[in-house]
Amino acid sequence: MQRTVFEGRPNMKSQICDSGEEPENPKTALEARLAELDAFSRENAVRQRALAEPVHKTVVATPTSMHHKITLGAVMVAAGFQAADADALAGLLGSSVSRLQDGLADRNPSQTDKTAGQALADLLDVNVQEFEAKGLYAAWDRRFQLYAEDRAEWLKRDREFRLEGAWRSAEMTAGQRWLVRVTCRVLRMPMPGHLLRGQAADWLEAHGANLNYGDFL
């Protein structure tokens, strides 16, 4: 068989290969080997991640209220909702099932290819005033229930403590100060001046504060 001799530099050995064949480029062979090792490494990493994944979905052991809000909020944002939709969405979630069914039944039949999220967004857009009003009322009712519970618990306290306890001589709380200001603004009254905590409690009770809930207690 005919041989072809490729002469290298004087201090290098001659490279001999079969006639008609190109000599193997060491650089190309190295790159191919590195690419092969890189692919193997990626595949191995995927297998390791799969083995490390828990059988069940991992959840926060003791999730806080803020954790729930952030997690659910992210889902709603991904579905196309914004903060401005919060009241209307709360009103929709507080509505009856029949109201939801009626709203979805009124949709254009040609829009059946939309996702559930898009269908709900359309329903909010068409009935925004109705659902926003329901949502705002639901938020008010939650605050009212908390206020009523706190007030009932306070009234259960010992009468002597409520009327003569050491707490009365403490500084007025920020909440009392804010409520006094709002009450004066609504009733168009002058501010009563500096009050201690007990005096502020007496003043607020005498003027029917909290005015948001006074008529419902």
Provide the residue range defining the domain that includes 98.
Answer: 82-156
Q: Could you tell me if 94 and 135 are in contact, meaning their C-beta atoms sit under 8 angstroms apart?
A: yes
CA–CA dist 16, 133 (Å, integer): 89
Asked which of 12, 34, 52 is the last residue of a domain, the reply is 52
Q: Based on the fold, state whether residues 175 and 124 are members of the same structural domain.
A: no
Strand partners, 196: 171
Is 40 within the bounds of a domain? yes
Summarised one tens digit per residue, pLDDT across range 155-172 is 888 888 888 889 999 999
Write down the pLDDT at residue 13: 47
Give me 203's structure tokens: 């003043």
Q: Based on the fold, state whether residues 129 and 178 are members of the same structural domain.
A: no
Summarised one tens digit per residue, pLDDT across range 12-43 is 444 445 555 555 566 687 788 888 888 888 88
DSSP assigned state of 208: T
CA–CA dist 154, 161 (Å, integer): 10
Is 175 within the bounds of a domain? yes
Q: Based on the fold, state whether residues 174 and 127 are members of the same structural domain.
A: no
Is 68 within the bounds of a domain? no
The number of domains in the chain is: 3
Supply angle C-alpha 144, 146, 149, rounded to 5: 105
pLDDT in tens, the chain (217 residues): 455 444 444 444 444 455 555 555 666 877 888 888 888 888 888 887 777 666 666 566 678 889 888 999 999 999 999 999 999 999 999 999 999 999 888 876 666 788 889 989 999 999 999 999 999 999 999 999 998 898 888 888 888 888 888 999 999 999 999 999 999 998 999 999 899 999 999 999 898 888 878 777 6
Asked which of 124, 140, 156 is the last residue of a domain, the reply is 156
